[in-house]
Structure formats: structure tokens, C-alpha cells
Amino acid sequence: MTIEWWLTYLVTTIILSLSPGSGAINTMSSGITYGFRGAIPAIAGLQIGLAAHIVLVGIGLGTLLAQSAIAFEVLKWLGASYLIWLGIQQWRAAGALDLNAVSKSLPKSGRFKRAILVNLTNPKSIVFLAALFPPFIMPDQPLMAQYLILGTTSIIVDIFVMTGYAALASRVAKWIREPHQMRLLNRILGSLFILVGTLLLFARRANA
């Protein structure tokens, strides 16, 4: 893999990571509710989910999901249901914003596990990786090393992007103190979760 080819992949990954999705929504929700440091477990959880998808793509499961309607549909419905459930919980969240008090409502381990599930139950992520990796893989070179480079690049880029989302969200939180403001924001974030989950229900396979 040449440096020019890697730079092309880097730019592609940055653009895709910046595109708002369930991971970005989850990170912003955590940043607003728990502050910047409180969102770190959520960011870490997302990377575990992403790493799992990269490994699965590397061993060929990505191709299976891309070709199997049943496998894709099962994971799609699980992911969509989980995101909609998160949206309902966010919608029903309390209106008052007290970062010190609310941080006790979901421990760091809970934020970490929730973020893992958000990424793991998103079939579009693994199918997309299965479609994205092949054009950047050179068959005449060691495949494992290339998957490692591409996967590591994706994770590092996503860490930086999600950190930026968390920082932005935590700054927004400083301006939201009234209960009705937080209630409105919770409903906006909850609606976004539900929207992403609903869109996921209607997602089609890349080769459909």
C-alpha cells in the first residue's frame, strides 16, 4: 500500500466519520449529559464496536452479511430496535440539568457497554466496511498487514472525531440550565435516535 493510497483512504474515512450517525448521536448525548470526561467511556465503547466490525470484515463475515438477506435483516432489526429504545429513554429523561447528579444515573461501565451495543448492532457499519476495504486492498501484498493499517486508521480517525463531538456537546451543556431547555434537548436527541433507528429499519443491502 502506497502513502498516496493510504492518504486517499484517510480522507475518505474522515469524511465518513464526520457524517452524523448513531455513534455521533450517542457521543453528543453523553457529552451533554455527563460532560466531556464523562463521554470518554462512550467514545471508548464505540471503538470496541468498530474494532469488532473490522475483525469480522477481516475474516469474511462482512461479505456474508452483504450477501445474506437473512443475516442482514436480523442484525438490522436488532440494531434498529435498540436505537429506538435509546431514543425513547432519552425522550423521557428528566428536564433539569445537573451534571454532578445525573452522572450517577448511568455509571461509566454502563456508558461503555451502551456505546459498544450502539456500534455492534449497526449492520450498515459492517456492510459499509466490507464495501470500503476491498478497493484499498492490494491483493499482491500481505492482506493482514493491510487490514491492520486500514482498521487502525479508521479507529484513530473516529476517536478524534468523536472527541470533537463530545467537546462540542459539553460546551453546549454549559448554556442549558433551565429544565425546559434540557427537556427540549433530550427530546431532540431522543428523536434523532428514533430517526436513525427508523431509517435503519428501511435500510437495504448494498447489493439489493
Number of domains in the chain: 1
Model confidence, pTM: 0.72
pLDDT tens-digit map of 137-187: 776 777 778 888 889 999 999 999 999 989 988 887 666 656 676 677 778
User: Which residue segment(s) compose the domain that 30 sits in?
Assistant: 25-201
pLDDT tens-digit map of 82-124: 778 877 877 876 555 444 444 446 778 888 998 998 888 877 6
Residue 186 lies in a domain: yes
Q: Is the pLDDT of residue 1 over 80?
A: no
Residue 189 lies in a domain: yes
Residue 54 lies in a domain: yes
Residue 97 lies in a domain: yes
pLDDT value of position 122:
76
Residue 3 lies in a domain: no
Residue 57 lies in a domain: yes
Residue 108 lies in a domain: yes
Residue 17 lies in a domain: no
Provide mean pLDDT across the span 17-21: 71
Rounded Cα–Cα distance for residues 53 and 55 (Å): 5
